[in-house]
Amino acid sequence: MWAVSTLTMLVLAGILPDFRIQSVDGDSATRIAVTAAIGAGAFGLLSALVWPLLVRLLLLVPALVLGLLVFFLNGGLLLIALRLNPAERGDAAPETAVVVAAVMSAVASATGAALAVRDDDAYRRRLYRLADRRRRGGGAACPASPGTVFIQLDGVGHDLLLDAVGRGLMPTAARWLGDAPAVAGGRRRPTHRLTPWRTDWSSQTGASQLGILHGSNHDIPAFRWYEKDRREVMVCNRPTSAAELQRRAVEATGDGGLLTVDGASRGNLFSGGADEQALVLSIATRRRSRENRSRSGYFAYFSDPANAVRTAMSFVAEAAREIGQSTRSRVRKVRPRVSRGGLYPFIRAFATVVERDVVVAAVMGDMLAGRTAVYADLVAYDEVAHHSGPFSRDAEKVLERLDRSLALIENVAEHAPRPYRIVVLSDHGQSPGETFRTRYGLTLGDLVRAGCGLPVPRRARRTHSGAEARAAVRAALHRPVEEGGEQHRPSSRRSEPIVLASGNLGLVSFPDVPHRMSKEEIDARHPALLTTLANHPGIGFLLVRSEEHGGVVLGPFGAEIPLDQLDDNPGPLADFGPGAADAVRRTHSFPHTADIMVNSWYDPADGEVLAFEEQIGSHGGLGGAQAKAFLLSPLALSAPDEDGTPLAGAEHIHRVLRRWLRETDGPQVPLAAREDRRAA
């Protein structure tokens, strides 16, 4: 490493005019080489000893700002290294020092990785430096029973995964499924099985992950919804809402969550009851402490200067790639298309580079520390697919990089102090289609206002995207997650409705009525509203409460089907496939279901829906691939659907994962509300 760094410094000194390692009068080749060797050695020692201290001091700096500071801090260390050189021949302009330090760190990282490939002990030592925490007690023996790592590929649907495996985009997943050719010819034996599962009506991360990690997603009707009793809009990726939803789930189940025994939660909306948490949104509003600091994952990763520089360079490259791709999309007038300007290139780069690298590093550290259960969410694909489309080339590239992350985690498992079973799953899929606003020139809110006889703006305004990565970025920047359009308060005007969008699911609430309004009450107040919505070509069906039938599904041409008759007469739900009626009935039972639940049109021929948000790949309602997630589980574990019952709903997945944790012969997951006790 020292030799390669020395050679790198010599090459850079020959290329860059403002960087020199010899006196003005010139030196012999030997003296120049010695000066370079001393400078490279000093820079290496400062990087190893001083850099972690600098990162820890800067933990209060927002993560994205820290990423930008990486280059300048590294350049400062190089200038110090040159000043420490006893030959006093090294010098560099400040801006040149930044470049030299970045190149040297990148070369050192690549060299270290190459050398470690041939030395298992060196590789293990390098990976240990990435560990977030060490097991308390130091010398305590690691259990011999297998640990379990759950990796959530956010937004990757079952059919999309199969397609990616078949096209060679995900060779690691293909090898696990036995679809990759063996070295000696023929096919490999599969090590995993792939099982589809159907999401709830609210096919989005908030509902799915809360159900998976905490065993209950009752009363989560959408990604965002209005609660009349609290006079507040709940948003799943808002830290205050996430904390409240987690509290409700713990209270409902009497259980801290899936990860209460020696667990770790990484990059998730909810903690799952884990003691070790990093980048977890539900704790973002708590007072930071050594035990619950959600940004501890950043320190563990950025404390290695080579990692910091590599990730910072990849961040810049990814942002530039997004700008180029979106520009090309506009020039070619690709349809469908949504706006990808403003801060979006940096949000995408955060999700696909920073969040991925930090979460994967945290998982690696957990495995090397021998933790019993780890659950991590990688949001990269979901973020890109929202704006580029689920089947776009942009999204395919992200799938390839996610597969490499799976391969790295699998490699680390070979060096862990206990065996690990790697389970990969998704929380939902994504359905393609243009936006409701693009197709019809008005938003769902405009249509509702027209049905209520209220004035409609001449130009339809864009609806904020609910992509999960935006909340992670705001938390990293220490900025409130609340968006202007989501701070709703009841209007003084009697008939002003609140209209919220969650992918292709819309919710209409009348805040001045304290209870959930019935169809009869809505018709009496706004006679044209339900008819306007139900007969619009962009609407698939409506759900409303009925004083006569309890609950009814409304469709075009006067279709009105009571919920208890949907099995015999699905009416407008016929195109949405099996399970749609059960999902609608379950949502109808929620206390905070909106006055009117609106699901967009769905074309079963091409799987397209119409998003009420600015997304050309969307999820949140019924229709198409968004409702078909997957479980990729080791054959060593029992079949997810061993009793023959199809997997339906996130709570069902929670029960399956609990069963698998029990099968590892490790400690049982207790039914104790540890999260509540810890908070108290």
Look up the pTM and report it.
Answer: 0.81
pLDDT score recorded for residue 464: 58
Q: How far apart are CA 441 and CA 39, in angstroms?
A: 63
Angstrom CA distances, 333 to 327, 460, 603, stand at 10, 21, 24
Does the pLDDT at position 158 exceed 70?
yes
Q: What is the mean pLDDT of residues 446-470?
A: 75
DSSP, collapsed to helix, strand or coil, labels residue 331 as: helix
Residue ranges of the domains in the chain?
2-118, 146-218+234-432+625-679, 436-465+489-618
Q: Is 153 exposed, middle or buried (0-12, 13-18, 19+ CB in 10 A)?
A: buried
Q: 320, 237, 239, 338: which is closest to 287 by C-alpha? A: 239
Amino acid of residue 1: M
Question: Is residue 674 pLDDT above 90, yes or no?
Answer: no
pLDDT band with cut points at 50, 70 and 90 for residue 669: very low
| Residue at 671: amino acid letter | L
pLDDT at 347: 87
Structure tokens at 153: 């590929």
More confidently predicted of 376 and 275: 376
Separation between Cα atoms, residue 174 and residue 403, nearest integer Å: 10
Report yes or no: 220 and 208 within 8 Å, Cβ to Cβ.
no
Lowest-confidence pick of 116-125, 447-456, 493-502, 508-517? 116-125
* DSSP class per residue in 376-395: EEE-HHHHHHHHH-TTSHHH
Element (DSSP H or E) covering residue 541:
strand 539-544
* Residues in CB range of 327: below 8 A, 6 or more apart: none
Cβ contact 673:255 at 8 Å:
yes
Portion of the chain with pLDDT greater than 90, in percent: 50
Tokens, residue 155: 């937004």
Higher pLDDT, 384 or 679: 384
The whole-angstrom separation of Cα 266 and Cα 263 is 10
- In whole angstroms, give the CA distance from residue 668 to residue 658: 9
Q: How confident is the model at residue 594 (pLDDT cuts 50, 70, 90)?
A: very high
How confident is residue 461, by pLDDT bands cut at 50, 70 and 90? low
Q: Which of 336-350, 452-466, 549-563 has the highest mean pLDDT?
A: 549-563
What pLDDT score was predicted for residue 675? Answer: 37
- Cβ-contact 388, 617 below 8 angstroms: yes
Q: How many CA atoms lie within 13 A of 237 on its CB side?
A: 22
Position 186 pLDDT exceeds 70:
no
CB atoms within 10 A of CB 1: 13
pLDDT above 50 (res 484): no
> Which of 226-240, 461-475, 521-535, 569-583 has the lowest average pLDDT?
461-475
Q: Which of 371, 360, 351, 370 is nearest to 405 (CA)?
A: 360
* DSSP strand pairing (192-198 vs 232-235): unpaired
The pLDDT of residue 664 is: 80
Res 66: pLDDT: 56
Residue 364 to residue 360: CA distance in whole angstroms: 6
Return left, alpha or beta for 532; rule: phi > 0 is left, psi -120 to 50 is alpha, else beta: alpha
What is the 8-class DSSP label of residue 436? H
Quickly state the pLDDT bin for 193 (edges 50, 70, 90).
very high
| Mean pLDDT score of the chain | 82
Segment 28-65, tens digit of pLDDT:
777 778 887 887 788 778 777 776 676 666 655 555 55
CATH topology of domain 146-218+234-432+625-679: Alkaline Phosphatase, subunit A (3.40.720)
Distance from C-alpha of 668 to C-alpha of 57, rounded to nearest angstrom: 39
Q: Are 21 and 10 in contact (CB under 8 A)?
A: yes
Separation of alpha carbons 545 and 641, rounded Å: 34
In terms of Cα–Cα distance, which of 379, 409, 566 is closest to 475? 379
* CB half-sphere exposure, 415, CA atoms < 13 A: 21
Yes or no: say if 311 and 354 are a contact pair by the CB < 8 Å rule: yes
Which residue carries 């293990």 as its tokens? 124
The answer to whether residue 124 scores a pLDDT higher than 60 is no
| Cis peptide, bond prior to residue 336, ω within 30 of zero | yes
